[in-house]
Structure 1
């Protein structure tokens, strides 16, 4: 049975989810603040120290910032000058945020403290863009899925995937996902004839900004190029018109991308002496250099260990933390059947297959150990939003084809994803020697009262009370997703989906229990994080 035909425009399928559900989702994004200054988070602070340097000293290098504000990691060094080893977009994007905070706080050198700087930089540059992304995701999914499935998949993506984890960190991984999907959304509207050709400027700008935010985002950009070309060549119009359209689109996209590409090259020239030479060729820490040597920028032949751990490790495996993404694999077959009947789905099928293959190769061929101290395999963050339609199509097929047991099990995968990724995100800094991020690290910390810092702490509500409230909201949405998928919108579901869902949850919890070791690595990580926790039990937070 085929999914419902698409309407003429996505506006016709506006979100009809209960507003309270999305309000709670937004509240969790805005209120949560998992950050601990004692960790000296290198990936975040190296970017913000460059922001400080740009505003305070007018320099790209951060030598004076290191002297005035303290040493941070993840650095590159060239001719005695230190720079972040990361692509520079977020550092520059945070300049207005820092300038406003500086003026607001008195306008002197040390006016902006570290905690408010991290909080507002995250809120404005990673949290709010992801909330915009969730709106776009819901509009896109609502074109092909029923409202119930589109809502549930959107909420599951928002709270049960890497999107949640990396929106609450000032890192570029979720920024990459936002920009890639933004570029895709523009191309999709163009392919459907709903945007004028100047929409290619938007797609090009998103593509250029992606590379300026994260070098590995170029992999996703190649997928967008494939989608753009196929969606034009497969249009129902004369061949000459297709090639003319393709040429004009490529030109407009190049114009949109050019400011970001040229800016990135100028930055490389000024910092590292060559427009195509990044900071990864000048890493300050010799221990990190082998990860980027050999092959192409450290990408070599696939390694079975890297593949297995990236997807299935109980510490940070993609499917271990977000098992609902497993639905995307058989969902590709459903997408393929849809593509046979609907021309506009063909290019999307090739996009999903290309991105899935490309990102799988990348994570299998790069050093797994370089993912350290993070929630999940961070460089796969850009892939995740493109797996949502296949997963949603499979859920839609299960709802309409009379398989209540399979539907209940699939709904449980979504619920478990929110629970697993959600509690892991409450910690969000995961030492490498932990056996299982959920039961080996997050749950022991939560049981001891070490719940995440939040805006509620700023309002005078101490932990664990504030954190328990946020945990209840998270688990409440996890339960709502199961009810929405497994029990609503199906004819006479009976007890079968519930029983099958509970059995699946028991299986997943059993796997979590079987892989946790409670060894010295787990215990040491818990004790260490307790020592550096920003808002320990009984404490509040102040800027």
Structure 2
């Protein structure tokens, strides 16, 4: 059911002219159609898009270039399949298949790795439930269904971590450092802020080597070989990125953010380091707790990672492997928290959740899973039921938000102020079912039932493991927790003019309104 939701859902509305996605795909068009990095002719032939940089009269996406280049084979195949002329590839199928092959399928592969990783430390029930919750109840779901680089960054960071983890356990040969290095280099080529996660992986790699139980000389030799192999793996992506910067912006270390076309965006990237300044309490509070796009508001199960750090600390006593995990989680949590607290919150814009924290989320799964495991096995059914409800609520809240996935900045509450009113009015998300002839709202209701069914399954998998009183207590605690979380959502929705205006606007641009199907 999880795979079906990923493959079938297609929240996209051409009328919004999604700048973050289309600027990348317009460069893909330019690479195939004209053999150029700049998108001047693509803008003329296919229409204007946003999120651009300009240098010497030439326009480029302001984003890191990896996804633009990765989509070239997808575009080339679609172009050949549809006749091979300039306008052979329409916008909607281009977005659909680019997402499918470059953001959806890689995340599904990552979920398999996440399940294997968690299964080494917790029971199958907890590993299954946390994997599904991550897949549907976190930013992973939202950004797998958008052609943006945030979930790509998470996939690459976790891929690099997984290689380092297998190396630390002696399960891979040293050439696995090539994989880790390639993932690190590709991360920065996909999203510049991914460098934060790469620094965390570097710390983890060093600690896992230095804390090995072997002679000092052997450890330092292993570290030297690992660094060399990792640099070799990263080299093609780093060199490619620098060559791109040189060709587009005149310097190998100068990105598009130095040449933004829209003057209104310039202040967000001025001052400090690429716009990263001193922390702002408002940015911190809204990034984590805003009813519109707060990380913990949409994914309350991630709150379990906070006490999970303490559990990790206890597990790390005398255990070098867990101690390295602890330092990795602490370093990434501190780094990403500082970033989101010191960068302009207003720059998140029209997205689900605090998008630049997407790369952090996979590394919070182990501490959260350890807490769930402790609660299940320590004879605390009330707390176990409440924790299970946090996972269920995450799937419902983030899932409903992802069904919309384009969130205006002035909405009071993304779930009850935007998603629920749209769904109740029959504006279900576009999907591949619409292409097969199933109209909305029927197609959307089917997908909604899949989402809610998996949310219930996660609760049952985590919260109900006995009979009689041992099953009743977690059930009641879970229901009470869900009621509390829904109450918080209800208390923060305003149903004011901005909410109604956002709903009305999205209804006007909705790709598959009630009673319609979709033709590629």
Q: Would you say same fold, with TM above 0.5?
A: yes
Determine whether 1:497 maps to 2:497. Answer: no
Which structure 2 segments of 5+ residues have no match?
A: none
Hey, what's the Cα distance between the residues in 1 that align with 2:126 and 2:222?
A: 35
Determine whether 1:93 maps to 2:92. Answer: no
1:194 match: 171
After superposition, give the CA deviation of every residue in 1:102-154 in whole Å (9 maximum; x if it has no partner): 00000000000000000000000000000000000000000001000000000
Determine whether 1:225 maps to 2:202. Answer: yes
1:456 match: 433
Q: How does 1:505-516 map to 2 (within 5 A)?
A: 505-516=482-493
2:309 match: 332
2:510 match: 533
8 Å Cα contact 2:349-2:409 kept in structure 1: yes
SS in 2 for 1:494: helix
1:158 match: 135
Determine whether 1:387 maps to 2:364. Answer: yes
Hey, what's the Cα distance between the residues in 1 that align with 2:373 and 2:141?
A: 24
After superposition, give the CA deviation of every residue in 1:49-82 in whole Å (9 maximum; x if it has no partner): 0000000000000000000000000000000000
1:482 match: 459
2:519 match: 542
Hey, what's the Cα distance between the residues in 2 that align with 1:264 and 1:341?
A: 42
Determine whether 1:420 maps to 2:412. Answer: no
Which structure 1 segments of 5+ residues have no match?
A: 1-23
Query: Where do 4+ consecutive residues of structure 1 move more than 3 Å?
Result: 489-492
SS in 2 for 1:83: strand
Hey, what's the Cα distance between the residues in 2 that align with 1:262 and 1:457?
A: 43
Following TM superposition, by how much is the alpha carbon of 1:491 offset from its aligned partner in structure 2, in angstroms?
9.9
1:266 match: 243
SS in 2 for 1:288: helix
Size of the aligned set, in residue pairs, is 520
After superposition, give the CA deviation of every residue in 1:497-518 in whole Å (9 maximum; x if it has no partner): 0111011001000000000000
Q: Given the alignment, which residue of 127, 140, 143 partners 2:104?
A: 127
SS in 1 for 2:518: coil
Hey, what's the Cα distance between the residues in 1 that align with 2:390 and 2:318?
A: 29
Determine whether 1:77 maps to 2:66. Answer: no
1:221–1:315: structure 2 CA closer, same or farther, 3 Å change rule? same
The Cα RMSD (Å) is 0.8
Following TM superposition, by how much is the alpha carbon of 1:344 offset from its aligned partner in structure 2, in angstroms?
1.0
1:308 match: 285
Q: Given the alignment, which residue of 210, 231, 234 partners 1:257?
A: 234
Q: Given the alignment, which residue of 424, 442, 447 partners 1:447?
A: 424
SS in 2 for 1:274: coil
After superposition, give the CA deviation of every residue in 1:22-69 in whole Å (9 maximum; x if it has no partner): xx0000000000000000000000000000000000000000000000
Hey, what's the Cα distance between the residues in 1 that align with 2:296 and 2:426?
A: 28
Following TM superposition, by how much is the alpha carbon of 1:342 offset from its aligned partner in structure 2, in angstroms?
2.3
Following TM superposition, by how much is the alpha carbon of 1:261 offset from its aligned partner in structure 2, in angstroms?
0.1
8 Å Cα contact 1:148-1:489 kept in structure 2: no
8 Å Cα contact 2:465-2:471 kept in structure 1: no
TM-score, length-scaled by structure 1: 0.95
TM-score, length-scaled by structure 2: 0.99
Hey, what's the Cα distance between the residues in 2 that align with 1:491 and 1:399?
A: 16
Hey, what's the Cα distance between the residues in 1 that align with 2:465 and 2:216?
A: 46
Hey, what's the Cα distance between the residues in 1 that align with 2:416 and 2:340?
A: 25
2:260 match: 283
Following TM superposition, by how much is the alpha carbon of 1:357 offset from its aligned partner in structure 2, in angstroms?
0.3
Hey, what's the Cα distance between the residues in 1 that align with 2:171 and 2:486?
A: 45
Following TM superposition, by how much is the alpha carbon of 1:494 offset from its aligned partner in structure 2, in angstroms?
2.9
Hey, what's the Cα distance between the residues in 2 that align with 1:541 and 1:277?
A: 42
8 Å Cα contact 1:160-1:414 kept in structure 2: yes
2:158 match: 181
